[in-house]
Amino acid sequence: MPSSLTDFEVLYTIGSGSYGTCKKVRRKSDGKLFVWKEMDYGSMTETEKQMLVSEVNLLRELKHQNIVKYHERVVDKKRQLLYLIMEYCEGGDLGAIINRYSREGKCFEEEMVWKVLAQCSSALNECHKRKDGKSILHRDLKPANIFLDGQRNVKLGDFGLARVLHETSFAKTFVGTPYYMSPEQMNKLSYNEKSDIWSLGCVLYEMCALRPPFLANNQRELALKIRVGQFSRIPMRYSTELSKIVDKMLSVECNSRPSIESILSLSQVHKYLAGGAAPTQAVSDTLERQQKYEKRLKEREEELKFLEAKLLGREAAVEEREAAVKEREANILIQEQEISKKLAKLKDKEELFNLGITEENHGLHLKGHNFNKLSEDTITKPTPILCAVKSKALLDSPSKHVSFNMLDEKENEAVKHPTITALREKETNLFVLRERERNDTEYQKRKELRDRLEKARQRATQLRLAQFDNNPKNNHLLNIR
């Protein structure tokens, strides 16, 4: 039995517009809450009446958990008013929530954005893929027409501008809210289900950025921006996957936008469809392919992780080898420095040797003879080389009557005459003392000679530098002797 207005109690007015007024009501029989949509069809044109009849018929046909449920209608013929009794959504509409979040500085959780995408896509799939082969376009998809129930589930409503299309047909009328209209609608071209995909992409963008993707001061400027299709990325707090799907949905070319089936096959979307209507066979096949692809992708990722670990092991081994090589190079460098020091010392000794002067234990060596270490054999019986070097010194000594030849001839007599032996030792000691004094004098002379040679080298180096630089400041070096 049809209900009458007396069966409902009006609680308060939710909102009003050109279409009429929405009020929250309670059914007296069971206390259940509803919304009735009050419309004055007496003041409508024939076209508006036809749209109203179409909406009522559509709402009667559409039965889906993500579409606002139609219960019944009440007609007041006396006042020419039509009341559509609809499901009450406790969460309000998405547009009001976006405005509140914008004022309070809040933002939507990414899971909520994915949930709206999933459940709106499920509702659009019910509209676009009718069993009778017809497709229903919403044509006015915007936040104000998306409602939330007590569990924050999405309910798509307000099909006042919806249009029934036969398969492969395209709509051509210019309807909808400008901020969410597709480029083909702005260009007054034919459009199809992909136009609703564009509008849903605008809704998702506004949920993330708390503003529509295209803003302008007038409709002409807005139409130009929509035709170009340039917009900034959604805020960085949202994932790359969400940004990519929004970018695809807002593609200027309608063929580049994803289909409802491809959206419903996304893993992020599928988990929000639990408890809802079972997906179509095409969606199930797509989901199966998606699962197989994800499985292969995981296997590939594991393989890449194994190869990466192997590569890291090789890199560690290479680093160890490099460290060992560097350590060896450091040791070699130290050895080279030590060898260089030894070579420098050898070179200095070689220069001193070429001059006939060497120092060892503060003694003086002349051509290999050390006068600090003369043995008794050397004193009593000099070698021919020592005799050759010291012959002039013997001739200059007071004992000119003593010669080495005489010592050789009367060697046996020296043993028989101790006085001669003692005299010989005194003369030899005196000779050694004189030679030491003479050698000390020669050593000092040679040292002075080395110092003069070193100073001469330094002066020569300074002269070469002065001549090379051609610096007038160094001209005083030329006057140094």
The answer to whether residues 127 and 277 touch, using CB atoms and an 8 Å cutoff, is no
Indicate if the alpha-carbon torsion angle 51, 57, 61, 63 is positive or negative: positive
C-beta neighbour count of 151 within 10 angstroms: 7
How far is the C-alpha of 29 from the C-alpha of 150, rounded, in Å? 22
Catalytically annotated residue among 93, 132, 140, 149: 140
* 204 Cβ neighbours under 8 A, 6+ residues apart: 113, 116, 117, 242, 245, 246, 249
**Beta strand pairing call for 358-360 and 363-366:** antiparallel
Q: Closest by alpha carbon to 195, among 205, 179, 182, 186? A: 182
C-beta neighbour count of 186 within 10 angstroms: 18
Residue type, 199: S
Q: Closest by alpha carbon to 251, among 209, 311, 302, 205? A: 205
Does 140 qualify as catalytic in the annotation?
Answer: yes
The answer to whether residues 115 and 243 touch, using CB atoms and an 8 Å cutoff, is no
Tell me which residues are annotated as active site: 140
